[in-house]
């Protein structure tokens, strides 16, 4: 389970009041919570703090807890939290397979890694795409590969920062279903931040309005 307890965020330079105040939530394994709010309210900053990416001049108070472990001082690379950004950025000079290998556990044997990648591509209707480069993929295909890269890193939680916004309506609906399936199969908690009202539909909980926590 992923928990936030009394989380507050503020900019320290220039010195400002807290722009998110006393946010608490729980997301259980295999479930998705949608957090929505207007642009600029602090959705991406909240995601960054949870994942351990600390922005310059941004401070927070409160607790980040994953599977009963407090992560406040844990470096990002040790938090086991997958992060999928709006653009789902892939390395353009690497093949699909090389992109997927990037975050995988180094203790897994190469043969097993290749088998895992093949199985995940097959399940994603992208069988045989291992040697393709990102510039040959559609927007929806790129999004799926970026999501698979996060999943193959074996995260204990997944954070999504408006991952559907750059897709056309058909791709968006298909990718939403794909993400839901990945979260359920991996049985991990997931937080999705968005300004798109239609993203509320995939939330397993009542969608959380970040404006409520914006003083």
pLDDT tens digits for range 20-32: 999 999 999 999 9
Label the pairing between strands 190-194 and 157-161: parallel
* Cα–Cα distance for residue pair 205/116, rounded to 1 Å: 31
C-alpha closest to that of 214 among 8, 32, 4: 8
Q: What is the CA radius of gyration of the chain?
A: 17
Q: How confident is the model at residue 87 (pLDDT cuts 50, 70, 90)?
A: low
Q: Which two tokens stand for residue 35?
A: 């957090």
| pLDDT at 139 (0 to 100) | 85
* Cα–Cα distance for residue pair 70/50, rounded to 1 Å: 11
Helix runs in the chain, H state only: 43-51, 96-101, 110-123, 139-152, 169-186
> Looking at the 3D structure of the chain, how many domains does it have?
1
* Cα–Cα distance for residue pair 214/131, rounded to 1 Å: 46
Residue 15 has pLDDT above 80, yes or no: no
Task: Quickly tell me which residue has 């703090």 as its tokens.
Answer: 49
pLDDT tens digits for range 62-77: 999 999 999 999 999 9
In the chain, % of residues over pLDDT 90: 60
Q: How confident is the model at residue 121 (pLDDT cuts 50, 70, 90)?
A: very high
Asked whether the beta carbons of 25 and 4 are under 8 A apart, the reply is yes
Q: Which two tokens stand for residue 4?
A: 């936030």
* Cα–Cα distance for residue pair 203/33, rounded to 1 Å: 5
CATH number of the CATH domain containing 195 = 3.40.50.300
Range of the domain at 197: 2-213
Task: Quickly tell me which residue has 């950004």 as its tokens.
Answer: 85
């Amino acid at each position: 389970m992923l928990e936030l307890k009394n989380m507050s965020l503020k900019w320290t330079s220039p010195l400002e009041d807290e722009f998110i105040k006393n946010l608490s939530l729980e997301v259980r394994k295999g479930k998705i919570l949608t957090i929505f709010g207007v642009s600029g309210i602090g959705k991406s900053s909240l995601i960054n703090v949870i994942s351990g990416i600390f922005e310059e001049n941004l401070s927070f108070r409160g607790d980040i807890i994953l599977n009963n472990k407090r992560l406040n001082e844990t470096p990002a690379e040790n938090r086991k939290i997958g992060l999928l950004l709006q653009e789902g950025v892939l390395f353009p000079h690497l093949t699909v397979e090389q992109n997927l290998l990037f975050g995988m556990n180094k203790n897994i044997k190469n043969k097993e890694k290749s088998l895992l990648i093949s199985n995940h591509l097959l399940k994603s209707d992208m069988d045989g795409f291992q040697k393709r480069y990102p510039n040959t993929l559609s927007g929806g295909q790129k999004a799926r590969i970026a999501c698979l890269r996060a999943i193959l890193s074996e995260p204990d939680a997944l954070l999504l920062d408006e991952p559907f916004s750059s897709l056309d309506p058909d791709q968006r609906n298909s990718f939403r279903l794909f993400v839901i399936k990945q979260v359920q199969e991996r049985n991990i908690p997931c937080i999705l931040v968005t300004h798109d009202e239609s993203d509320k539909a995939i939330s397993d909980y009542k969608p959380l309005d970040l404006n409520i926590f914006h003083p």
